[in-house]
Amino acid sequence: MGKNRDIKSLIRSLVSIVVHEIVARHTNRPESKLFLKKEAVEYRAQAEKASDLHNWNEQDKINIREKAIKEVKRRMILKYPDVFFDEEEISSIIDDEIKKLGFD
C-alpha cells in the first residue's frame, strides 16, 4: 500500500480505538465494557501494524492527529448521540495512543 492509504488506515484505527474507549468509559451497560475494551485492543494492534510501515514526518503526524479528532467527533455524534463526553477527552486519548505508537 502507499503512504496515503496507510495514513487513512491508521486514522480509521485511531478513530475506532478512541470511540470504543469513550463509549466504554461512559456506557451505562456494564456488560458492554469488556467487549468495548477488547475491541479497542484489536484496533490498537491494527494501528501498530500500520504505523510501522513508514517513517512519519511532522506534517504526517499533525495531519493524522487533526483528521482523527475530526472523525471521532463526527462518529460520536452520528453513532452515539446519547453518550456525553468532553471534547478534551478525545484529544487526550488520541495523544496517548499516538505516544503508544511511538509518534512522539
How many C-beta atoms lie closer than 10 Å to residue 99's C-beta? 10
State how far the Cα of 40 lies from the Cα of 53, in Å rounded to an integer: 20
Q: What is the pLDDT of residue 103?
A: 77
Q: What is the pLDDT of residue 1?
A: 60
Q: What is the mean pLDDT of each run of 10 residues along the chain (104 residues)?
A: 88 95 88 90 93 90 95 94 89 93 78
The DSSP H or E segment spanning 27 is: none
Q: What is the pLDDT of residue 19?
A: 95
Torsion from C-alpha of 65, 23, 73, 53, nearest 10 degrees: 30
Q: What is the pLDDT of residue 104?
A: 62
Count of domains forming the chain: 1
Question: What are the E-state strand segments in 1-104?
Answer: none
Q: What is the pLDDT of residue 76?
A: 94
C-alpha grid cell for residue 99?
505516544
Range of the domain at 48: 3-100
State how far the Cα of 35 lies from the Cα of 66, in Å rounded to an integer: 27
Q: What is the pLDDT of residue 27?
A: 83
State how far the Cα of 65 lies from the Cα of 94, in Å rounded to an integer: 7
Q: What is the pLDDT of residue 88?
A: 93
